[in-house]
Amino acid sequence: MKFKLLILLLFLGWGVRAQNYSADSLRIKGFFDMALTEGMAYSWLDDLSNKIGGRLSGSPEAAMAVEWARQVMDSLGLDSVWLQPVMVPHWVRGSEEKAAMISDATFGREEVNVCALGGSVPTAPGGLRAPVVELRSFDELEQLGESGIRGKIVFFNTPMDAKKISTFHAYGSCVGYRVNGASKAIEYGALAVIVRSMTLKIDDDPHTGVMHYSDPTKKIPAAAISTRDAERMSRALKHDPNLEFYLKMDCHELPEVRSFNVIGEIRGAEFPDEIIAVGGHLDSWDLGDGAHDDGAGCVQSMEVLRLFRKSNYHPKRTIRAVLFMNEENGLRGGIKYAEEAKRLGEKHIAALESDAGGFSPRGFSINDSSYVVRYFQNYRPLFLPYGVYMINAGYGGADISRLKAGGTTLIGLLPDPQRYFDYHHSREDTFDKVNPRELHLGAASMASLVYLISEHGIPKKMDKN
């Protein structure tokens, strides 16, 4: 009798799972069909990129983007839309940077392409001219010491590693020279820092990005040089070790500005106190129009809510789209959101971030215990028909990272990474580089995973891994 009962329970359990799988599969197909035939994300991105443009924190364009996003979310018939105030830094690039290599022994003077790194101090009004020393690592900086560095411009010529299949891993292995190069070089008496752009592509476009000073009383100018000009300067230094570099920048920091995270919400029908956040960052660098980084993530997040409303799906749990402000040069929006969630005692069971470009989705990275990762891997068969196959342990995202302390499962959308750093933080990050079909596939993938979490929750089980 006990054996028959066990068989019956197993049979009933399989029937429930099969029934859920069938219903989930149909719902997910509906999201993909709707996104690919009548998606709004690409049209919204057109407005954000081409009517507003680059949206550096504190800028008039960032303020315009906040109001634009509020109006779009208001139009979706959500349960709530609100602005969450946050103070953000206001760094200004100023006039176009000027730079040149100067060799009295060989070619004379040749202009090169540079851009100030975000947060850098300017040069003197007339610019700066000094000898250059090329380095490949911080170890080389330490080995040369003050006697080899003082009074010179340090040129960190460290390429991204082309052998790494994930370009994000290649980026992570050398971005420290951009972020910390100036702080380390000034300790040895450097006058400025020039950093090879963070891209595998060899071209004339310098890539900006945030940098930091570890000591606010010790600051030197910091700029990125295009990869092609980095190669040129490296060759020129071999012919003329006395080569000099001229740099002129008038970037500067203004007083902090009040800005906002933009939040839209659909309240859960059964578990309204359990929140699933989905988002991207509304700010961008100022050289391009921030289409891939991260206009794509913002419009995809709003599209998740639109797909739910349009398909008459009533989520069991509360779904929020959060467009964060100031990811690029401060992370103030993400920090503020997590602080408010903690203050209000909100329970975020999951947060999904899209901040890796609007390319074809390949999967998701899960930042939680190995038990939770394995749970999500059970959903692979539902995503395989759409070319989404990777569900692995990994990074969630910068803006949602502060929610981790509250036990939130952090998830990152993983688009194809191969082209992202061709455009990242450069003037090439523009709307025309985004494919509408790829963008909408990403939005549908996000909606599908959020739906699954809303329907089935996340079983929390602590393990040793």
Query: What are the residue numbers of the active site?
Result: 327
Smallest CA-to-CA distance from 332 within 406, 261, 251 is with: 261
